[in-house]
Amino acid sequence: VMQECQSICPMPAAEGESAEDELEDDDAAVCASSGDASCEFAGASLRFFLYDVKFGEGFNLQREVFPRMGHVVALLNDRVRQRCGGSFGRGRCAEWALVLPPWCRVVHWWSDTKHVPWREFFDAKALRSSKVTVLEFEEYA
């Protein structure tokens, strides 16, 4: 994670207040006091994990990175659930989504530099059937 709003550990929830509500308040307070622009969306319910591969990598390597990054995002989401009482919420309890990088150039195909979405090569329904939320880069951008 290159940039993330860092929050203090939440205090136990007061009677009648959920831990998630308190967590949102702590995130907002820390972010407001820090002046950090990355904290603008501390109350968001979804965080995005972006990755890329080295320029010049072949088709199979680019394809193979997807399940590995999906596994990383699944592990991140497991940690979020553990920290947040078994479910997703907002701020530090927000779910991570995997953003697929566009295919830019497959060197041994002598392909164009035009960005190509994953759905051009793979079944979009199958891509989205993964254990984690998956977005094409153009949906994120």
57 is catalytic: yes
Q: Which of 57, 95, 120, 136 is catalytic?
A: 57
Q: CA-CA distance, 90 to 115, in Å (whole number)? A: 32
CA dihedral 135, 81, 21, 26 (to 10 degrees): -90
Distance of CA 133 to the CA centre of its chain: 8
The answer to whether 88 and 80 have CB atoms below 8 angstroms apart is yes
| Catalytic center residues | 57
